[in-house]
Amino acid sequence: MSEPGVRERTWRPAWPCPAGQVLAASRRGTGDPTYRIGDDGAHWRGIRTPQGPVALRVAARPAEASIHATAWGPGAEWVLERLPQMLGADDDWSGFEADHPVLREARRRHPHWRIGRTSLVWEALVPSIIEQKVTGQEAFLGFRRLVRARGERAPGPHPDLWVQPAPATIAAIPSWEWLAWRIDPARSRTLVAAAQRAAAVERIGTCETDEADRRLRSLPGIGVWTSAEVRQRSHGDPDAVSFGDYHVAGQVGLALTGEPVDDAGLAELLQPWAGHRFRVQALVAMSGPHRERRGPRMAPRTHLRG
């Protein structure tokens, strides 16, 4: 029997679902306030759903071949209903051939990995905008500061789980606060503009992937890279390649051909896997150590406040 205000669900997937590995696609660095891993191995997420904020705890029970989830808050029923798709139940591998040694090895090492789908565009959009054209270190710092300053504590018992700020909150943040969090005007303007269109942004979650891409890229400041990063998470889009990323083209080219490539080369290289191009990108990322980067690196900027 659940305590009042708490909802639970036990789900038995048709495959040995690596719940933590799939959920971790939404984690923004080890210090992400909206994502925690308990001492018992359970994964916690603070989520803003269309029904309100929720704390979600997901724990695998291998002996029972099941996933047990507990949710607190007004969005509890919404998120539990969508638990299977969040953990990759809808991911379709049809037509994908791992016909390269790197891809075969990644599949051998991660045979049960799938792409999850959250259906939450706003949740994926905020950190993706913050990650535009900066190092991961700077982006994760900015996201943490935003969430802790303007987000809210997640419902439920976790002592330090947070939910991202609501769109109306982001739309009202003054420029000097963004700078204090090391989020420059280009990115803060994009965030505010998206927040002012929040209802339309969230409706993108119901669109097919091509239409979702078109609508996302119609927003000011949203390009190919940001759209792909959002659709990978909100839609579980297996074809959403991160073109424009500082490292992806080089890493994929190096893994599949022995030489880094640029975005044009990446598009040509991935053409045989059309429909599954992000799947290839993700499997390459899982494939193990990459050659040490000896070329130019994007350095953290030091001229911003905070």
Q: What is the pLDDT of residue 92?
A: 96
Q: Which residues make Cβ contacts (< 8 Å) with residue 141, sequence separation at least 6?
A: 181, 182
Cβ-contact 11, 66 below 8 angstroms: yes
Dump pLDDT digits (tens) for 27-54: 999 999 999 999 999 999 999 999 999 9
- Which band of pLDDT confidence, cut at 50, 70 and 90, is reported for residue 4? low
In DSSP notation, 28-62 reads -STT-TTEEE-TTS-EEEEEEETTEEEEEEEEEEG
> In this structure, which amino acid lies at residue 164?
Q
Half-sphere exposure of residue 46: CA atoms within 13 angstroms, side-chain side: 24
The tens digit of pLDDT for each residue in 7-17 reads 999 999 999 99
Predicted pLDDT of residue 287: 86
Q: What is the pLDDT of residues 234-249, one digit of tens each?
A: 999 999 999 999 999 9
Q: What is the pLDDT of residue 285?
A: 95
Q: Per the structure block, which two tokens stand in for 119?
A: 């259906």
pLDDT of residue 263: 97
pLDDT tens-digit series, residues 85-137: 999 999 999 999 999 999 999 999 999 999 999 999 999 999 999 999 999 99
Domain boundaries, the chain: 6-99
Which of 156-177 are b and which e, b meaning 16 or more Cβ less than 10 Å from the residue's Cβ?
bebeebbbbbbbeebbebeeee
- Are 254 and 260 in contact by the 8 Å Cβ rule? The answer is yes
Find the Cα–Cα–Cα–Cα dihedral 202, 274, 13, 159, rounded to 10°.
-40
pLDDT score of 296: 36
Each residue of 258-304: pLDDT tens digit? Answer: 999 999 999 999 999 999 999 999 999 998 655 443 333 344 444 44
pLDDT (0 to 100) of residue 299: 45
Give me the pLDDT at residue 231, please. Answer: 98
Domain boundaries 6-99, CATH class: alpha beta
The Cα-based distances of 71 to 147, 234, 238 in angstroms read 20, 20, 28
Cβ-contact 44, 56 below 8 angstroms = yes
Task: Name residue 11's beta-bridge partners.
Answer: 67
